Chains A and B, each alone.
Chain A
Amino acid sequence: MDDRNVVIVGSGFGGAIPALRLAQAGRSVLCLEQGERLAQKDFVQDWSFKAQSRLFVTYTSKDYHVILRYGRGLGGGSLTYAAAMLRSPSEVFEWKDRDGYRVWPASITRAVMDPFYAKVEQEMDIVRASWSDVPRAGGIFGKMMAAMGKTADRSMYPIHDCLQCGFCMCGCPFGRKRHLGVNYIPRAEAAGAEFRVKCRVHHLEPDGTGWKVAYFDPWNVQRTARGERVVLAASALETPGILLRSKPWMKDLHPQVGKNLNQNGDVAFLWRVPDSLAPTYPFMGRNNAGIITYAFWDEHRITIHPGAGPPALVAAMDVFSEKGEPSAPMGVPFKHYVRDQYATHLFPSLAIGLVDGEGTVTVDGDGVVQFDLPLTDRLRAYIARVAGVGRQIADANGAELLRTGGDNYEHGDAHPLATCRIGDDGERAPCTPEGELRSHPGVFVSDGASVPGGTGVNPAHTIAANAERIAVALAAS
């Protein structure tokens, strides 16, 4: 049995970052990752299900209305994300939920997070997009904001010399997107950390002063690794899954594990622009279209950014026009509508905002992760607010807001958070502010599961900075 100071589960932001810091601190580190080690040559411009299922794990909610997914492979979501890396606004850290509970620990503010954000920016070489890097769809969105007398800001990315091919979410085949596999992970390996791929962790068991990590190796043989500390970083869906599967050995597991699932207040929709703004060419350019507006943050606590959209994504949405055409996302009119509008008049957008996380992650009898994200009254009110802002932008520009989704609302599929959250209140938060599981000392959570609420913007940078912060506590523990 492997015996290490630290066993880390998952190699995305929450895993790769502590791996580097702990190895640098002289700890023996083993990181178990279920996905493959992918090199630049493995990233293919291919939106087919077959190619995508190699890169992503996808879950559907129990009522089939919501899809959530995460990237798999050495480097986790960093391989296939759209790479917007944004610091969360200060108000995110002050956010209070429906009960007036401050979800982030009082000791953590934006000022406290800033040095950790800065470390990530340095390691990943994050830079601001130039105006030439802003794809056409982003530029159109900027013009729409300007027409309203509002602002939009160029975003930050670990992308250099982008060719604007539009396939970031397949993994960059040109090596322009600097994912964790080219910075944190090789640096951690150089410092002595071992990353073992195609190893799927099933559960944890206490073992004296440490923990046994039960996993399936690449040949599906069950093996065990032991760590004095275990760091769970398997994503906001899988981290609670591992803990819930461990219940037979972790009898007093904190009851909030798997609760508070927050999908970052993501609401996806499409814009249909007037001829004066066409063509949109939504496939030309990086998948996060270079720009974000904070203009509605003060009033509504939402941000909106445009995306570049492959047709699979756009057409898969249940598009409904509030003006009645197309009336249903199927049939001859819809087919013709997509053909006539997709390349020239449509582009997708994502609103992100602060709303309570009311979803739940569970495991079924086979130990498989399930989730539920109910459309609560609170969520409905939030969506109505987002749609109101969207309509305002559309009306000011002679554009049309196309609502999407089976509930007339499309949850984004990419930003699950908070299912094993840190917090001050031992009743509400399974983890201490330092990321340690309250019911089970020695087990830490450092991924999106530990981020206690919505991040106001795309979450990866805050997940990464929080992992840097937790790594400091881990190294000291």
Chain B
Amino acid sequence: MERRDFLLTAGGGALAMILGAVGESIARAGEAAWAGTQFARDPLPGACLQPLGDVERTLGAMLDTVVPGPATDPEGTAGALEACSMNILLDGSFPFRKYADLFALALDGIATDAYGSAFADLPYLQRLQVLVTAQDQLPMLRLAFRAIRSAFFGGAYNGIGLRYVGYPGPNLGFRHLPEASFRVAVCAELTGNGWMP
């Protein structure tokens, strides 16, 4: 089946799933055409930076709470850890590296106060609660969470998150797909030339 037929037959709630598959096929075509672009790649061995020292478990648990992976997501699909989003926290070219210890300390502190144990030892729902509290106390964390989500869904280090949401990634243009545009006037226009007087 052509990818455009795929798209045309897609409908209703099944769309996301089907589009995921289509996305993969478009991405594969894209990979051939655009070999070398960062996000078409699968994870490279060793591409994910590993935290050192005591903060390791806490940061890992934090990532797995923001975008849960197989350990937490009942559907068993990959999450932030598998997408190498730890790099966001450990790569010195981002602002978070110097805060990584502080993040871990804050999460463990809040977790201990609220539930009497270290953050990484809490069940998922309690970890989630700790993160919601922590981001209000430490605004930098909110930014870190955004970056972690963005790294996963935006394919910062590999294509796992992109494929997960059905994003085709690099492509030669969708112009020729019938569904890319309605192609006819869909509403009345106020101006004759596109801008207000």
Contacts and interface: CB of A to CB of B under 8 A. Distances in A.
A153 B154 contact: no
Interface string A253-279: 000000000000000000000010011
B180 interface: yes
A419 B107 CA distance: 38
A87 B140 CA distance: 38
A142 to B, nearest CB: 4
A406 B139 CA distance: 9
Interface string A288-320: 000000110100000000000011111111100
Contact of B153 (A142, A312, A406): A312
B44 interface: no
Contacts of A133: 181
B168 A283 contact: yes
Interface residues of B, number: 81
Contacts of B162: 311
Contact of B154 (A297, A316, A339): A316
B154 A48 contact: yes
A375 interface: no
Contacts of A167: 170
A148 to B, nearest CB: 9
A95 to B, nearest CB: 14
Contacts of A156: 193-195
A56 to B, nearest CB: 13
Nearest to B184: A131
Nearest to A336: B75
Interface in A165-182: 165-167, 174
Contacts of A281: 19, 174, 179-180
A88 B149 CA distance: 35
Contacts of B169: 45
Contacts of B38: 44, 46, 48, 50-51
Interface in B174-197: 174-175, 177, 179-191, 193-197
Chain B at the A interface: mostly helix, strand, loop or mixed? loop
Nearest to B157: A48
Given A46-B37, A316-B154, A151 B190 contact: yes
Given A48-B39, A151-B190, A163-B173, A64 B139 contact: yes
Interface stretch (A73-81, A97-105, A325-333, A395-403): A325-333
Interface in A202-244: none
Contacts of A166: 171, 174
Interface string B11-32: 0110110011001000000100
B65 to A, nearest CB: 6
Contacts of A284: 174, 177, 179-180
A179 to B, nearest CB: 18
A146 B186 contact: yes
A49 to B, nearest CB: 5
A87 B195 contact: yes
Interface in B67-124: 67-68, 72-75, 79, 88, 93-95, 124
B194 A154 contact: yes
Nearest to A154: B194
A90 B182 contact: no
B59 interface: no
A143 B181 CA distance: 12
Contacts of A63: 139
A312 B191 contact: no
A340 B187 contact: no
B67 A335 contact: yes
A37 to B, nearest CB: 21
Contact of B146 (A47, A150, A318, A342): A318
B65 A329 contact: no
A145 interface: yes
A275 to B, nearest CB: 6
B185 to A, nearest CB: 6
Interface string A367-407: 00000000000000000000000000000000000000010
Contacts of A131: 181-186
A315 B190 contact: no
Contact of B15 (A65, A90, A132, A279): A279
A273 to B, nearest CB: 12
Interface of B: 10, 12-13, 15-16, 19-20, 23, 30, 34, 36-39, 65-68, 72-75, 79, 88, 93-95, 124, 128, 131-132, 135, 139-140, 142-143, 145-147, 149-157, 161-162, 164-175, 177, 179-191, 193-197
23 contacts: A45-B34, A45-B169, A45-B170, A48-B39, A64-B139, A64-B142, A133-B181, A134-B181, A135-B180, A135-B181, A155-B194, A156-B193, A284-B179, A285-B174, A285-B181, A311-B154, A311-B165, A315-B149, A328-B132, A330-B128, A330-B145, A332-B124, A339-B165
